[in-house]
């Protein structure tokens, strides 16, 4: 996959994209990430990329032409128009399902807004979708672009050692992840649940599913309400309800 990022601050991406899993994916050729300085596509002599907003209001707005020039250059280079995303607080909130969908694409272009945003005409002409990382506002689109890049990158084939590295994580299958433990089995008097050291794989899998259901019900009941439960899930939830009554 290739990801092109159009930003006023490409230097912000150096440490995030040059470390850990994303760095190894780039080094091994699974992922290509190119950051483009928006000012390089603005006219000389001042490389101006913004202007005042029609209709009044404080702040400046990113102009359409420099961004259009950047996206046109990317399209010419890769040979096709990439799926173009604008990171915006008014977009649909990023989910694991959306990340899975984006991970199937060959090329993404991500626009990082700044100031008061981007001229709507550019968005109408070039952008395929707007994506938000939450119901809050940041000073620019760089951090959301890093989040999107990381979320999508780790699901590209070959990036992680095994598919289970992400298929068993929170949100991937509609549930939050179960608790995990490592050595020593006795840490300051607190023991690892015996089922996890029993060697009985079916019992361990059942415990993990039950704990995922418990944590999701406790922390994100909205997610549990959307889940298509199996008969085994319903049985596990009944057990949890009985155990809660016993504790009380």
CATH of domain 2-153: 3.40.1280.10
The whole-angstrom separation of Cα 207 and Cα 194 is 11
pLDDT at 166: 45
- DSSP letter string, 12-79: GHHHHHTSHHHHHHHHTTS-EEEEEEGGGGSPTTTT--EEEPTT--SSEEE-HHHHHHHHHHHHHHHT
Q: Which residues touch 193 (CB under 8 Å, ≥6 apart)? A: 181, 207
CATH of domain 168-247: 1.10.1270.20
Q: What are phi and psi of 112, to 5 degrees?
A: -100, 110
pLDDT at 239: 96
pLDDT at 116: 87
**pLDDT beneath 70: ranges in the chain:** 160-172, 248
pLDDT at 162: 56
pLDDT at 80: 97
Q: Where are the domains of the chain?
A: 2-153, 168-247
Query: CA geometry: angle at 220 spanning 136 and 194, to 5°?
Result: 130
Contact 3, 32 (CB under 8 A): yes
Nearest Cα to Cα of residue 185 among 177, 197, 195? 197
Contact 111, 62 (CB under 8 A): no
Q: Indicate the pTM of the whole model.
A: 0.82
Contact 240, 206 (CB under 8 A): no
pLDDT at 155: 86
Q: What are phi and psi of 238, to 5 degrees?
A: -65, -40
The model's pLDDT over 38-82, given as tens digits with 9 standing for 90+, comes to: 999 999 899 999 999 998 777 899 999 999 999 999 999 999 999
């Amino acid at each position: 996959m290739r990801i092109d990022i159009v930003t006023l601050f490409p230097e912000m991406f150096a440490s995030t994209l040059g470390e850990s899993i994303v760095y190894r994916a780039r080094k091994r050729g699974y992922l290509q990430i190119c950051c483009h300085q928006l000012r390089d596509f603005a006219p000389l002599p001042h490389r101006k990329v913004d202007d005042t907003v029609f209709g009044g209001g404080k702040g400046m707005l990113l102009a359409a032409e420099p961004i259009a020039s950047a996206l046109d250059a990317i399209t010419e280079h890769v040979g096709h128009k990439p799926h173009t995303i604008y990171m915006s607080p008014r977009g649909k909130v990023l989910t694991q399902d959306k990340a899975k969908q984006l991970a199937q694409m060959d090329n993404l272009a991500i626009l990082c807004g700044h100031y008061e945003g981007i001229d709507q005409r550019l968005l109408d002409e070039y952008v395929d979708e707007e994506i938000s990382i939450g119901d809050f506002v940041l000073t620019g689109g760089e951090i959301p672009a890093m989040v999107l890049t990381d979320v999508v990158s780790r699901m590209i084939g070959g990036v992680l050692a095994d598919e289970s590295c992400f298929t068993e994580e929170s949100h991937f299958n509609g549930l939050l992840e179960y608790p995990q433990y490592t050595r020593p089995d006795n840490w300051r008097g607190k023991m690892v649940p015996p089922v996890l050291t029993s060697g009985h794989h079916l019992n361990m899998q059942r415990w993990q599913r039950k704990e995922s259901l418990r944590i999701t019900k406790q922390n994100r009941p909205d997610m549990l309400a959307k889940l298509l439960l199996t008969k085994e899930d319903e049985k596990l939830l009944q057990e949890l309800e009985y155990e809660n009554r016993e504790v009380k």
